[in-house]
C-alpha cells in the first residue's frame, strides 16, 4: 500500500511539474500569488482557501443563497414551489445588487419578486378552486385570467359537430344554442370542453349564437399547460366534464320518459272504445 501511495505521489508531482512548465499555467499561478518554480498541492489548496475566505462578504453570501434557490427552480417539477423558490432567489439577488451598488441587478430582481408573487397567487387560487370542486363548487371564475375575449353576432356558428377542436369557450353574455338537442346555454356555461377529452379532438355538437354576446376562450394547449403545472386541475376538470355528462344523461332520460308516456297515451287513445 505504501508503495502504491509513493508511486501515486510521484505521478502527481510529475504532472504538477509538467503543468508549471506550461507558460499559461505559470501565469495563472503567478496571478494567484504562487511561485511557479516552487509550487505544491498543499500550497495551491491553501491559496485557494485563502482566496475563498477573503471573498466571503455579506453581499456574496446573499448571491450564493440566491444561486442555490435559482438551481432549486430548475429542479422543481411543479409550478407553486417553483414560484416560491424563484421569489426567494430574486429577493437574495436584489439584496446582493443593493449591497454591491449594482442598480440594474437590484431593480431587475426586485421587479421579478411581485411578478412571481402575482403568478403564485393565480396558481394558489387555481389549487383552491380545484379543491373546491370536490365539494361541488364548479365556478369558472378562476380560469378567466387565462382566457381571451371573443364577440359573436346573432346567426354566427361558433363551431359544427365533428369539426376539429382546438379551444374551450365560456359564455359571458348573449345566448347560444346547441342545435342537435335544442338546448340554450346561458352566461357562465362551458362550451367545447368535451372536445378536449375526445381521442381525435372533434366537436360533439353544433353551437349557434342566437343573441349577440361574447365568450372567453382558452386553447387546449393552455389547458394542458395549466394541468401539468397544477395536477389538481385535472381533478377539477374531471368534475366539470362529469357534471356535463350527467346533465346530458338526465336530459336523455327525460326525453325517453316523455316518449314512453306519449306512446302509452297514443296506445290508450287507439285502443277499443
pLDDT, tens only, 211-221:
999 999 988 88
Query: Which residue is it, cell 387565462?
Result: 146
* CB-based burial label for 207 (10 Å; 0-12, 13-18, 19+): buried
User: What's the confidence (pLDDT) of residue 3?
Assistant: 47
Q: How far is CA 154 from CA 21, 116, 133, 173, 211, in A?
A: 86, 41, 33, 12, 5
Mean pLDDT of 107-134: 80
Listed range (40-49, 142-151, 154-163, 253-262) with the worst mean pLDDT: 40-49
- CA 125-220-180 angle, 5° bins: 110
Cell of 100: 454591491
Cα–Cα distance measured from residue 174 to residue 209, given in angstroms and rounded to the nearest whole number: 8
Cell of 126: 387555481
Mean pLDDT of the chain: 78
Mean pLDDT of 53-66: 81
**Which DSSP letter does residue 173 get?**
S
Cα–Cα distance measured from residue 159 to residue 167, given in angstroms and rounded to the nearest whole number: 11
54, 73 in Cβ contact below 8 A? no
Q: What percent of the chain has pLDDT over 70?
A: 71
Q: Of the ranges 129-138, 177-186, 227-236, which is most confident?
A: 177-186
User: What's the confidence (pLDDT) of residue 83?
Assistant: 87
Higher per-residue confidence, 141 vs 213: 213
End-to-end CA, the chain: 117
- Which stretches within the chain are classed as H helix? 2-21, 23-31, 41-54, 58-75, 79-100, 103-133, 220-229, 232-269
Mean pLDDT of 107-113: 92
Mean pLDDT of 117-131: 76
Query: pLDDT at residue 135 above 70?
Result: no
Query: pLDDT at residue 48 above 90?
Result: no
Q: Of the ranges 26-40, 65-79, 164-178, which is most confident?
A: 164-178
At residue 133 the predicted structure's pLDDT band, cuts being 50, 70 and 90, is: low
Cα–Cα distance measured from residue 176 to residue 178, given in angstroms and rounded to the nearest whole number: 7
User: What's the confidence (pLDDT) of residue 88?
Assistant: 93
Query: pLDDT at residue 59 above 60?
Result: yes
Q: What is the bridge-based pairing of β-strands 207-211 and 157-159? A: antiparallel
At residue 208 the predicted structure's pLDDT band, cuts being 50, 70 and 90, is: very high
Mean pLDDT of 39-49: 69
Q: What pTM value is reported for the model?
A: 0.46
Counted residue by residue, the chain has a size of 273
H or E element at residue 8: helix 2-21
Amino acid at each position: 500500500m505504501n508503495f502504491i501511495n509513493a508511486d501515486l505521489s510521484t505521478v502527481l508531482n510529475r504532472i504538477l511539474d509538467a503543468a508549471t512548465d506550461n507558460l499559461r499555467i505559470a501565469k495563472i499561478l503567478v496571478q494567484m500569488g504562487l511561485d511557479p518554480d516552487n509550487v505544491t498541492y498543499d500550497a495551491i489548496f491553501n491559496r485557494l482557501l485563502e482566496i475563498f475566505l477573503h471573498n466571503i462578504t455579506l453581499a456574496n453570501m446573499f448571491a450564493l443563497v440566491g444561486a442555490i434557490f435559482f438551481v432549486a427552480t430548475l429542479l422543481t417539477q411543479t409550478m407553486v414551489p417553483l414560484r416560491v423558490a424563484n421569489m426567494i432567489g430574486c429577493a437574495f439577488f436584489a439584496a446582493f445588487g443593493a449591497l454591491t451598488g449594482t442598480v440594474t441587478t437590484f431593480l431587475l430582481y426586485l421587479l421579478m419578486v411581485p411578478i412571481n408573487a402575482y403568478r403564485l397567487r393565480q396558481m394558489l387560487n387555481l389549487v383552491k378552486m380545484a379543491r373546491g370542486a370536490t365539494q361541488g363548487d364548479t365556478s369558472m371564475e378562476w380560469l378567466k385570467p387565462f382566457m381571451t375575449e371573443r364577440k359573436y353576432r346573432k346567426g354566427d356558428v361558433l363551431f359544427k359537430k365533428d369539426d376539429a377542436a382546438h379551444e374551450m369557450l365560456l359564455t359571458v353574455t348573449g345566448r347560444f344554442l346547441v342545435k342537435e338537442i335544442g338546448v340554450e346555454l346561458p352566461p357562465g356555461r362551458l362550451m367545447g370542453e368535451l372536445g378536449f377529452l375526445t381521442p381525435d379532438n372533434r366537436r360533439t355538437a353544433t353551437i349557434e349564437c342566437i343573441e349577440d354576446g361574447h365568450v372567453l376562450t382558452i386553447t387546449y394547449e393552455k389547458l394542458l399547460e395549466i394541468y401539468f403545472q397544477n395536477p389538481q386541475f385535472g381533478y377539477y376538470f374531471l368534475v366539470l366534464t362529469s357534471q356535463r355528462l350527467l346533465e346530458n344523461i338526465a336530459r336523455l332520460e327525460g326525453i325517453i320518459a316523455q316518449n314512453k308516456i306519449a306512446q302509452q297515451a297514443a296506445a290508450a287513445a287507439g285502443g277499443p272504445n
